[in-house]
Amino acid sequence: MIRVLIVDDSLFVRKVLRDILEKDEEVEVVGEAKNGREALESIYLLNPDVITLDIEMPVMDGLTTLREIIRNYNIPVIMLSSFTKEGAQLTLKALEEGAFDFMPKPSNLFSLEGQVFQTELLNKIKVATIANRNIVYNSEIIRRNTDNLVSIRQEENTDFEYIIAIGTSTGGPRALKEVIPLIPKNINGAFVVVQHMPPKFTKSLADRLNSLSEIDVFEGEDNAILKRGCCYIAPGDFHMRVIYDGSHFRLKLDKDSYVKGVRPSVDVLMSSVAKLDNIKVIGVIMTGMGSDGTKGVVEIKKVNGYIIAQDKESSTVFGMPKSAIETKCVDKIVPLNRIADEIIQMVGV
């Protein structure tokens, strides 16, 4: 049995979450708490396997509670966040500080009882119990010294040799923070990224990475021209493709059907990049559950692209990298802290 502690200041939410979780024979709700202080007392007494933690609570908020849990216990935490810009920013902060994953609360709380929410929450709780909780991340970003390199005016430069397509899911926001900020501003390529996240959250992720990075990081927009030294993150609930219009590489967004239950899809992005001519391609698969990206790396390999996969030891969840590795198309398996160096070595500046 997976022992779960529910922490939320809303009695209604606690009841709905308990009803959802107790429908599953593998899950047992061992307790509830209405604020962070009660949660910390309950953890000591109940010894849960997983904690669901609301971000906004009185007495002790979710972020403060999370920090105490990370400091004193080795228990995976799934944050529950409001579907707002502020909620997205707080969620990213929680993920950076050690939360395993998150679930956005729908604006209509009765939607918590919907089948999609129930299935996703239960899946995340089960994956959390087998995830790698021994990962050590850099607490600070060490920016590269590129003062001696020629500065590039990003807004004008569309001349580059590589497109680097990155796919990631569970654990991805923290992992991307260990890669994108280490890329030098005059890298000889453009980055396109799929991180499985809902709308609003991808914009906050792009803004956060942009504030930490030498390269410019944006949430992708339809028809945006790819530029050297820039990174484009697929917006939540949109597939993102790269096309060539005869003069420039551009992004195309659409709401075609979900692929393997997700939108945006890594497979969709990577397959589009594999179809491009006159450009070199690198595919990178990082931490995440499931197998999204597996078809994409095969397509990239068919056109002589280079494939990098994150290793098991540094992945929060090894599902996506493992599935990619099993295709025999991966050229290099490296720990998270070497992915940026591997890309720079291949692409150059």
Positions annotated as catalytic residues are: 169, 196, 292
**DSSP per-residue string spanning 253-281:** EE-PPPBTTBSS-HHHHHHHHHT-SS-EE
With tokens 């393997």, the residue in question is: 260
Q: Are strands 189-195 and 162-168 parallel, antiparallel or unpaired?
A: parallel
Separation of CA 226 from chain center: 21
Q: How far apart are CA 30 and CA 43, in angstroms?
A: 10
Distance CA 94, CA 102 (A): 9
Angle, helices 201-212 vs 85-96, to 10°: value is 60
Burial class (CB in 10 A: 0-12, 13-18, 19+), 134: exposed
Contacts of 264 (CB under 8 A, 6+ apart): 194, 196, 234, 235, 236, 237, 238, 239, 240
- The C-alpha atoms of residue 257 and residue 291 are separated, in whole angstroms, by 17
Q: What Cα–Cα distance (Å) separates residue 304 from each residue in 161, 293, 324?
A: 14, 16, 16
Does 58 sit behind a cis peptide bond, omega within 30 degrees of 0 on the bond before it? no
Are the CB atoms for 18 and 32 separated by under 8 Å? Answer: yes
Neighbours of 139 (CB within 10 A): 7
User: For residue 136, what are the CA distances in angstroms to 46, 139, 246, 311, 314?
Assistant: 27, 9, 45, 14, 8
Write down the residue that tokens 């669901």 correspond to. Answer: 52
